C-alpha cells in the first residue's frame, strides 16, 4: 500500500506504507487508509516530527567490541530526517496557507 498525502496548498507526496505509517504514528495519528491532519493539529505534528528526528540523530550507533562476535545490524542508510522532510515541508506550507493535509481520499 502507498500513502498519498494531499493538500490544496502543495503537490502530492507519495510514500511507501512503512514510511507513511511510521510518520503518522510519530505525529500521533492512527495509520488508517484515510485520514486528515487539520491546520490546528499541524504545529503539534511538526513538533513531534522534529523531536523524533532529534532523538534519532542523538542515538549513538552501536558498535561491537573489537574482539566480539556479536551481530549488530547496520543503521538504515536513509535517516528519519530525510524520510520526514517532504512531509514536514508539506505541513509547513499547508499550515501557512490554512489548508488541511489528507490521505486516502
Give the residue extent of every domain in the chain.
2-20+27-57+80-103
pLDDT tens for 13-64 read 999 999 999 999 999 999 999 999 999 999 999 999 999 999 998 876 555 5
Q: What is the maximal distance between C-alpha atoms in the chain?
A: 57
**pTM of the predicted structure, to 2 decimals:** 0.82
CA distance 86 to 100: 15
Q: Which residues have a Cβ under 8 Å from the Cβ of 61 and sit 6 or more positions away?
A: 75
Amino acid at each position: 500500500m502507498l500513502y498519498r498525502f494531499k493538500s490544496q496548498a502543495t503537490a502530492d507526496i507519495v510514500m511507501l506504507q512503512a514510511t507513511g505509517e511510521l510518520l503518522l504514528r510519530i505525529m500521533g495519528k492512527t495509520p488508517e487508509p484515510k485520514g486528515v491532519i487539520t491546520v490546528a493539529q499541524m504545529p503539534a505534528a511538526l513538533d513531534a516530527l522534529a523531536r523524533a528526528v532529534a532523538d534519532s540523530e542523538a542515538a549513538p550507533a552501536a558498535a561491537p567490541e573489537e574482539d566480539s562476535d556479536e551481530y549488530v545490524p547496520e543503521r538504515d542508510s536513509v535517516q528519519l530526517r530525510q524520510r520526514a522532510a517532504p512531509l514536514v515541508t508539506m505541513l509547513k506550507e499547508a499550515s501557512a496557507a490554512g489548508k488541511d493535509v489528507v490521505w486516502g481520499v
